[in-house]
Amino acid sequence: MRKEFEFTVKGHKVKIVNSWFGGVKLYVDGDLRDKDSTFIANGKTALLSTKLSDFGILEVFPMSALISVEMDAFLI
């Protein structure tokens, strides 16, 4: 199963791709910035992060339910 999340932050196109066997990957403007292959993620720790120009650091936290996965992203 593969799930994609896309959004724009301060003019940058952000894409998160999550799959069972490929892990989760973070793209900013089409460039791979971070990846993680943790099988069970803890929502208290950022799973992915990257510096977003001079705006700060973008951190991605997983929010898992039994079957579905959602992501929260924060610009710090």
pLDDT in tens, the chain (76 residues): 788 999 999 999 999 998 878 888 999 999 999 998 876 666 677 888 999 888 899 998 887 655 557 777 878 8
pLDDT value of residue 64: 65
pLDDT value of residue 40: 66
Per-residue 3-state assignment (H helix, E strand, C coil) for 30-71: CEEEEEECCCCCCCCCCCEEEEECCCEEEEEEEEECCCCEEE
